[in-house]
Structure 1
Amino acid sequence: MSLAAFTAIYFVHLAAAMSPGPAVLLAARTSLREGFSRGIWLAVGIGLGAVIWAAAALFGLALVFKIAPALLTTLKFAGAAYLLWLAFKMWRHAGEPMDQDIAELPRARSIPRLVWLGVSTQLANPKPAVFFGTIFLTFIPPSAPGWAYAAILAIVMFNDAGWNVIVARIFSLEKTRRAYLNLKSVIERVFGGLLALLGLKLALT
């Protein structure tokens, strides 16, 4: 593969990673509530989830979806249900007070749970599979060597995890966090509502 092909893959996928969606929303919320270091672990999970979708596309999942579209429909509804469940939890607990001592928060949710939340949120949305199986694959020649696949998956991990680390940093800043604490219930309900809308959009498109 040429450098031009890798460059195209990098920027096309970076644009997709930066587009607002459930993963970015949860990265922002987690960092607001639990701090930057916790947001990093969620971002790692989001990156791993994207790598799983990309690897599946590289190894033929897009063809499976084309042959059996009912499978994609099932995944869409399952993913939408998961996002709506997360939205319900956000909305339900929006009015509860939050411990303002970030140092105590890591005990409440383990690092593996944060990573898994990132992975599961990414896998709940099959739209990345469609992206990787269509636009993404057009830049990869059928004769691409094995090392090129490894490099492409590394790009996916870097872009998805890296962008969500940036999101985590922005939303973990003290000024941002103080504003959140002053408007916690409103912001939580907005986040919950946006996540619910994303779930409904997934189910209906």
Structure 2
Amino acid sequence: MDPVFALLGILGALAAGAVSPGPSFVLVARTAVAVSRGAGLAAAFGMGVGGVFFAALALLGLQALLMQVAWAYALLKLAGGLYLVCLAIRLWRGASAPLAMGGMIAPAGLLKPFAFGLLTQLSNPKTAIVYGSIFAALLPADPPGWLLAVLPPSIFLIEASWYAVVAVAFSAGRPRAAYLRSKSWIDRIAASAMGALGVRLMVDTAVPPP
């Protein structure tokens, strides 16, 4: 496959995956509307860094190792599921508290929302397999150096840009006002979504597909 078409195909497939709703979307949207636009953008930056991490794993062929070493992959899925469940419990407990006290992320500083974004992105090791599958299907057998150099920053731009759009959209006046009116219900819905995804990861670990 021509390297240019390979690059476009890989980025298109990853962009389609990035816009699918999941815990990353929930976290960035909730951070932007509950804390600030800057905090949401910091979380979006963390998502981008997480995408680059998974791309590096795929390029190094480590996703194949995860598939071969079943216990390591299961351990990573279990850890990711536990992280999402803990995050969901924390969010649920703060749902009925005032925003200043019940926010999942402290208003001061951007390091914490960045860390939440990065850890949420890394909490699902299945993403490493998705990246690896896309690369295996579309990456040339002997890719040129420029393609390997362009992929990581391009993937960062796709992941970070999409979640930056989410952060900007949800930090606008109307979404923020709607959130403040219904904070407890919105937080509990977000917590339920995150918790369900975490439980699903752990169930997949305990009961692998046939």
TM-score bracket for this pair, using the shorter chain length:
over 0.9
Counterpart Cα distance in 2 of 1:112 and 1:186:
27
TM superposition outliers: structure 1 runs of 4+ over 4 Å: none
Residue correspondence of structure 1 range 165-204 to structure 2 within 5 A: 165-204=164-203
Counterpart Cα distance in 2 of 1:148 and 1:197:
38
Counterpart Cα distance in 2 of 1:145 and 1:2:
7
- TM-score of the two chains, using structure 1 as the length reference: 0.92
Aligned amino acid, residue 62 of structure 1 = Q
Determine if contact 2:3/2:147 at 8 Å carries over to the other structure: no
Query: Could you tell me which residue of structure 2 aligns to residue 125 of structure 1?
Result: 124
Counterpart Cα distance in 1 of 2:202 and 2:145:
35
Aligned amino acid, residue 179 of structure 1 = A
- Asked if residue 43 in structure 1 is aligned to residue 39 in structure 2, the reply is no
Give the aligned length. 199
Deviation of 1:115 after TM superposition, in Å, equals: 1.5
Query: Could you tell me which residue of structure 1 aligns to residue 19 of structure 2?
Result: 18
Query: Could you tell me which residue of structure 2 aligns to residue 155 of structure 1?
Result: 154
Counterpart Cα distance in 1 of 2:160 and 2:135:
18
Aligned amino acid, residue 122 of structure 1 = Q
- Contiguous gaps of at least 5 residues in structure 2: 205-210
Counterpart Cα distance in 2 of 1:13 and 1:136:
10
When structure 1 is superposed on structure 2, of 138-147 and 18-27 the one drifting more is 138-147
Determine if contact 1:58/1:137 at 8 Å carries over to the other structure: no
Counterpart Cα distance in 1 of 2:112 and 2:167:
17
Deviation of 1:198 after TM superposition, in Å, equals: 0.9
Determine if contact 2:81/2:123 at 8 Å carries over to the other structure: yes
Identity of paired residues, percent? 35
Query: Could you tell me which residue of structure 2 aligns to residue 70 of structure 1?
Result: 71
Counterpart Cα distance in 1 of 2:125 and 2:21:
15
Which digits, 9 at most, give the CA deviation of each residue in 1:29-56, with x for residues without a partner? Answer: 0001112121111100011011101101
Determine if contact 1:13/1:136 at 8 Å carries over to the other structure: no
Which digits, 9 at most, give the CA deviation of each residue in 1:110-159, with x for residues without a partner? Answer: 22222111111111111210101112331111211232112111121011
- Contiguous gaps of at least 5 residues in structure 1: none
- SS of the aligned residue for 2:99 comes to coil
Query: Could you tell me which residue of structure 1 aligns to residue 7 of structure 2?
Result: 6
Cα RMSD of the aligned pairs, angstroms, is 1.5
When structure 1 is superposed on structure 2, of 129-138 and 153-162 the one drifting more is 129-138
Which digits, 9 at most, give the CA deviation of each residue in 1:141-180, with x for residues without a partner? Answer: 1211232112111121011111101111111111111110
